[in-house]
Amino acid sequence: MTWLDSLTLAARSLRRRPGRALLTILAVTLGATLLVALASVATSAGSRIVSKLTNGGPATAIKVSASKADSDQLYTDDLRAAGPKAITDATLATLRQSSHVATVIPVIASRILAVPPPFGSTATSTAGQQAYGDTMVGVDLSQAHNLPITILAGRVPHSGSPNEVAITESYLDHSGMSVQSVLGTQVEIAQPQAFQGQSGLQFRARWIRAEIVGVVSQQVAIGALLVPIEQAQLAQAWAEAGVDGGDAFPLPDSKYTGLIVVASSLDDVHAVRQMITSLGYANTAPEHLVASVLRYLRVVDIVLAGIGAIALGIAGLGVANALVAAVRERRREIGVLKAIGARDRDILRWFLLEAFTVGLVGGVLGTLAGLLIALWVGVSVNTYLTEQGLQSIQFGDVSWPLIGAAILGTSLLAIAAGVVPALQAARLSPKEAVAAA
């Protein structure tokens, strides 16, 4: 008996009792549905929780300050600064050489004066406008996905753009504008420089005008304006071309205000923080908080997986019960097949293929149903969050490993459930089988 013969017999056997076959497949489908839906929802929720803990950036991001670290830095997630310490290009090169580091992003923060436009229009001059002091944060925006930045409206400026900025909600508080009305307007920015005049220390400014292209929530550094790092470098060079302005406008002690160091994985975060601390820099990362949350999420995953496994176990019992009944009904057929030359392994293969078919069909249907349920849960949750004025959760990402594991798992479970009935059928002698029938 060939594999094709066995498969044909298995398909014919399932069609012989369509009601029983349908109920057995339905049991496997329900088990797979529950497992896939729970796993998908748990994975999406867990990713969102970790993302919120890291302010929208990667969970492996570490913020480094241009300050010395105290002796307790590694034992806390918070920044423990003990005086200034310059960050140099040599510092960046050292960190980038580590195999535990994925990328290092420098940050430059420059003090500026900002002049918002009138409501809903474009500013044409600084006359009559209310300027206020703030900070312009410059960073490599081509790596925005590696930064703790959440886009609330619009987009981030293009990398290297000299006349685009994104603003935070603190700018909206100063200007009195809304999130939507501020997009497309212009802001005038004064970058100060101190110099010695005839009457003593004086200040002059380098003025630029930039278009507001986005509203963001950012934790890169304290500041209302987010710009490409090239803008911040020009502002810093302009300031350093002057003299030290004392307490009013001191020259920067460090080429870089800070760094965003992204570890290669969560397991590497502690090693990277240890390296940064050994270099003498204060740093902060939600290392201990994320580790604690992940431990709780693993417990939740285990509980949900246990519920799904119980459902699949019950489905497996249904497969075994259906095959036991099938063996009893087909004793005469088994006897005839053996009498004309079928071997034990042929009968075993017949019933195992029947079990595999049930598991495969149930697994595919259950996986599709589980993904649809997870998507429906996502839509329902996001509708509620939107109504409450909260940020939505990203659902619907297809996990191919989960899909593969669900289909393969249900198929193997069905085969395992069918082993005992299949062995019973294979061990029947032709005489006993025909006589029992």
Q: Which region among 41-50, 255-264, 269-278, 371-380 has the lowest average model confidence (pLDDT)?
A: 41-50
Query: Of 262 and 121, which is predicted with more confidence?
Result: 262
The residue-averaged pLDDT of 238-258 equals 86
Residue pLDDT, tens place only, 290-345 = 788 878 888 888 888 888 888 888 888 888 888 888 888 777 777 777 777 778 78
Rounded to whole angstroms, how far apart are CA atoms 322 and 23?
A: 9
pLDDT of residue 310: 87
Whether the predicted model's global pTM rises above the 0.85 cut: no
Length of the chain equals 437
Q: Is the pLDDT of residue 115 over 90?
A: no
Q: Is the pLDDT of residue 164 over 90?
A: yes
Give the DSSP per-residue string, 221-288.
SS-SEEEEHHHHHHHHHHHHTS--BTTTBPPPSSSBSEEEEEESSGGGHHHHHHHHHHTTEEEE--HH
HSE-up of residue 123 (Cα within 13 Å, Cβ side): 24
Whole-number mean pLDDT of the chain? 83
pLDDT of residue 131: 76
Q: Is the pLDDT of residue 278 over 90?
A: yes
What contacts 24+ positions apart, CB below 8 Å, involve 173-179?
A: 174/114, 174/116, 174/130, 174/132, 174/134, 174/224, 175/116, 175/117, 176/119, 177/116, 177/119, 177/120, 179/152, 179/153, 179/215
> Is the distance from CB of 36 to CB of 367 less than 8 angstroms?
yes
> Is the distance from CB of 157 to CB of 226 less than 8 angstroms?
yes
The residue-averaged pLDDT of 419-426 equals 82
Provide the pLDDT confidence category of residue 234 given band limits of 50, 70 and 90: very high
> Is the distance from CB of 155 to CB of 206 less than 8 angstroms?
no
Q: Is the pLDDT of residue 123 over 60?
A: no
Rounded to whole angstroms, how far apart are CA atoms 261 and 62?
A: 5
> Is the distance from CB of 79 to CB of 63 less than 8 angstroms?
yes
The residue-averaged pLDDT of 125-149 equals 79
| Residue written as token pair 């003593």 | 200
Helices (H) and strands (E) counted in the chain, each on its own, are 12, 11
**What is residue 160's three-state secondary structure?**
coil
Q: Is the pLDDT of residue 120 over 60?
A: no
The residue-averaged pLDDT of 146-161 equals 90
Q: Tokens for 323?
A: 């095959």
Provide the pLDDT confidence category of residue 51 given band limits of 50, 70 and 90: low
> Where are the domains positioned within the chain?
3-54+292-436, 61-285
pLDDT of residue 253: 85
Provide the pLDDT confidence category of residue 213 given band limits of 50, 70 and 90: very high
The residue-averaged pLDDT of 126-145 equals 80
> What share of the chain has pLDDT > 70, as a percent?
89
Residue pLDDT, tens place only, 167-200 = 998 898 888 888 888 999 999 898 888 888 888 8
Q: Which helix (H) or strand (E) holds 45?
A: helix 18-53
The residues pairing with 260 across neighbouring beta strands, listed in sequence order, are: 63, 105
Which of 159, 156, 110, 155 shows the shortest CA–CA distance to 135?
110
Rounded to whole angstroms, how far apart are CA atoms 150 and 394?
A: 13
| Residue written as token pair 């010695």 | 196
pLDDT of residue 124: 41
Q: Give residues with Cβ within 8 angstroms of 180, minimum separation 6.
A: 153
